[in-house]
Structure 1
Amino acid sequence: MPAAVEDDTIKVDKWDGSAVKNALDDAVKETLLTKYKYSESHWLMDWRLAICTLAVGLSGLAIVWDFLHPFPASRSVLIFCVCSYFVLMGVLTLYTTYVEKNIFLVAVQKDAAGVDPDSKWEVSSSLKRFDDQYTLSVRYVDGSSKRERQASVTRSVAAFFDENGVLVRECLVPVVTKLHNSLLSGKKDK
């Protein structure tokens, strides 16, 4: 887990792939939200939380029902709740695999005039286990034309961290900016 050394410095154990990926994701997210003044949309996380809340609610129902009506009488309710829980965990797995797809930021770009629909930015990343190649992908959906453009960049994580595991934002921000600007101009940068 990334630890803040100073107020804006992020230091991680450079051998911990999850910490490195999370630190890079957080820095990319902060860059897009602060530099371009986009607002974050939480709808992906909200749906995941809704599925989890429903599953936990059914588990709570099973506990309360079994307390009020001891086992032989609560058998059918327990079976329903347990089966529903496992079905919802399957739905959650499918949701995170096929809908979220490693997306860690959905940003909304408001139309300056307020006439056209808002444009949407989806940012995802991947860092395979025991690999140093960090892939950052950005998908842009134009609000008025609904056309999609996508670009990605792959760099070694060593390009963004110093030898002590401190994130060097001056190396990351130009990569994010170039990727962002390539989508706004309509060029594809692979």
Structure 2
Amino acid sequence: MSSKGKDKDEKLDEKTQVNKWDGSAVKNALDDAVRDVLVKKLNYMENFRLVDGRLWICSIAVGIAMLALLWDFLYPFPVSRPILLLCVSVYFVMMGILTLYTSYLEKGIFAVAVQQDPAGIDPEVMWEASSSMKRFDDIYSLTLVSKKGKNGSPKSATFEKSVANFFDTEGNLLQDLLEPEVLRLHSNIQSGKKEK
């Protein structure tokens, strides 16, 4: 086995350890593990369109802020006032657009994966994984949504479990306990079972 293959196997075997009292770190570790199941275990292709949209909005906002900084450097304050006001206004609007984008379009979706038909006959299936975990709560809620083609109706399945089911006492993520839950949701959607 080549050293490249050994490195890849070692990365897959690495344990994810988090501070089990940090809710956002626990949620992020679970989200990353779910993404790994979709991309590595099920061999779906990850789609970055949602993340790219957020990055474009942020890049435009940062570009506007840099323009204001440069303009104020070249033409000190009294002269640069109208441009600064315009840049601050546009930045405010971009942050509003970003808030709307994350609230209504992303809706907690942290992974989008595409299942392609090997024969190329059937349309591709989009899988979206979204999660939520309330502050100071140990319940992790995961929702998988599948949509076949552009006009297909979405199918979804959700589970809610305590994060204690997926972490040991040291804060190590137990991937072998999370993976079956994600695969069960996946198979319930494919078989058409309704589960909450």
TM-score of the pair, normalised by structure 2:
0.90
**Paired residues for 1:1-190 under 5 Å:** 7-143=13-149, 146-190=152-196
Give SS of 1:138's match: strand
Instruction: Determine helix, strand or coil for the equivalent of 2:110.
Output: strand
Stretch moving more, 66-75 or 46-55: 66-75
- Give how far 1:116 is off: 3.3
Cα distance change of structure 1 residues 144 and 104 upon mapping to structure 2, 3 Å threshold: closer
Task: Give the whole-Å Cα distance in 2 for the aligned partners of 1:117 and 1:66.
Answer: 52
Extract unaligned runs of 5+ from structure 2: 1-10
| Higher relative helix content | 2
**Percent of paired sites with the same residue:** 54
What stretches of structure 1 of length at least 5 have no aligned partner? none
Shift of 1:17: 0.4
Aligned length: 186
Q: 3-state SS of the aligned residue for 2:185?
A: helix
Runs of 4 or more, structure 1, over 4 Å off, are: none
CA shift, 1:145, in A, is: 5.5
1:107-164 Cα deviation digits (max 9, x unpaired): 0111222233321000000111110100000110012761210110000101111111
- CA-based RMSD: 1.6
The answer on whether the counterparts of 1:21 and 1:127 sit within 8 Å (CA) in structure 2 is yes
